[in-house]
């Protein structure tokens, strides 16, 4: 089975301008396809921007099958590349911080709602999701989805490991001074859970926030396979099933677990 070449779009797009962000996504999908990628991953809330007032987020929110989802389906189909994008999802009266995976044929594969909301800003704007493990199959790999703060909870990522996730996609809005998450925590999560993790950040100033970039693809051997800098960038890495299998064969973490000892955790 060949590796899944993955493009990480480190960008904040244009705040509050869905149309311009769709244009940027189109251009990135073209570059990703030209670079041989089968998957393009964007940052958290890429479709609208992150640092918006709750009422503005609510005004820009769309259903999972809304106009932007259909437009991104056309982009994915046109370039033959799967797309994972962050956006505000409206469902009834609730608004979720969501990420949706669209297949290379333009069909919707999975939609995830952020379960752990960070700070008063997110708690005022969003309803937390309640499904910790959302997965889909792509390119011979089991794909999982989280958003930003979710990956900082070890129980979350371990749940994905136990459910068979091979490549965990994590669109994020990681801000100063927490860059250690991208630099240190994400590679450790990949190693201790024996999976690939694609962690894709926003960059630069936005409202009261300063996003740190440093997007990466970490592999199950703990190695960072690709790393972006601090600015706008499209970087590529490969999720290799053979390396994944070899690492899981030699690393005993998941085999040596003793779940009976962990009941106090819940």
* Banded model confidence at residue 55, pLDDT cuts 50, 70, 90: very high
DSSP letters for 5-63: EEEEEE----TT-HHHHHHHHHHHHHHHHHTT-SEEE--TTTTT-SS--HHHHHHH-B-
Q: How far apart are CA 70 and CA 76, in angstroms?
A: 10
Q: How far apart are CA 55 and CA 147, in angstroms?
A: 21
Q: What is the DSSP letter of 4?
A: E
Mean pLDDT of 97-107: 98
Q: How far apart are CA 207 and CA 194, in angstroms?
A: 36
Check whether 59 has a pLDDT greater than 80.
Answer: yes
pLDDT digits (tens, 9 = 90+) for 237-249: 999 999 999 999 9
Question: Of 206, 187, 176, 201, whose CA–CA distance to 53 is shortest?
Answer: 206
* Banded model confidence at residue 233, pLDDT cuts 50, 70, 90: very high
Check whether 266 has a pLDDT greater than 80.
Answer: no
Q: How far apart are CA 48 and CA 14, in angstroms?
A: 7
Q: How far apart are CA 32 and CA 171, in angstroms?
A: 17
Q: What is the pLDDT of residue 64?
A: 98
Structure tokens given for 137 = 């199959």
Question: Of 105, 109, 113, whose CA–CA distance to 148 is shortest?
Answer: 113
DSSP E strands, 35-187: 39-41, 82-91, 94-102, 108-113, 135-138, 141-145, 167-171
Beta pairing, strands 39-41 & 82-91? parallel
pLDDT digits (tens, 9 = 90+) for 174-223: 999 999 999 999 999 999 999 999 999 999 999 999 999 999 999 999 99
Catalytic residue chosen out of the listed positions 62, 122, 148, 152: 148
Is 148 one of the catalytic residues?
yes
- Quote the mean pLDDT of the chain: 97
Q: What is the pLDDT of residue 98?
A: 98
Catalytic residue chosen out of the listed positions 114, 122, 152, 216: 114
Q: Which helix (H) or strand (E) holds 157?
A: helix 154-162
* Banded model confidence at residue 137, pLDDT cuts 50, 70, 90: very high
Per the DSSP assignment, residues forming a β-bridge with 236 are 7
Per the DSSP assignment, residues forming a β-bridge with 85 are 100
């Amino acid at each position: 089975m060949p590796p899944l070449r993955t493009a990480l779009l480190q960008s904040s797009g244009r705040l509050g301008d869905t149309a311009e962000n769709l244009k940027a996504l189109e251009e990135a999908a073209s570059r990703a396809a030209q670079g041989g990628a089968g998957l393009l991953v964007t940052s958290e809330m890429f479709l609208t921007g992150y640092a918006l007032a709750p009422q503005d987020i609510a005004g820009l929110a769309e259903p999972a099958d809304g106009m932007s989802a259909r437009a991104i389906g056309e982009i994915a189909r046109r370039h033959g590349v799967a797309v994972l994008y962050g956006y505000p999802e409206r469902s009834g009266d609730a608004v979720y911080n969501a990420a949706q995976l669209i297949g290379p044929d333009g069909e919707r594969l999975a939609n995830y709602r952020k379960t752990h909301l960070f700070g008063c800003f997110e708690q005022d704007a969003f309803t937390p999701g309640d499904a910790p493990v959302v997965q889909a199959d792509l390119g011979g790999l089991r794909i999982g989805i989280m958003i930003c703060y979710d990956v900082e909870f070890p129980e979350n990522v371990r749940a994905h490991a136990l459910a068979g996730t091979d490549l965990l996609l994590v669109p994020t809005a990681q801000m100063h001074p927490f860059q250690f998450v991208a630099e240190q925590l994400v590679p450790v999560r990949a190693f201790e859970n024996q999976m690939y993790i694609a962690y894709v950040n926003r960059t630069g100033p936005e409202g009261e926030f300063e996003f740190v970039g440093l997007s990466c693809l970490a592999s199950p051997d703990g190695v960072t396979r690709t790393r972006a800098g601090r600015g706008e960038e499209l970087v590529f890495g490969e999720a290799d099933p053979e390396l994944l299998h070899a690492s899981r064969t030699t690393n005993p973490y998941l085999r040596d677990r003793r779940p009976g000892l962990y009941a106090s955790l819940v």
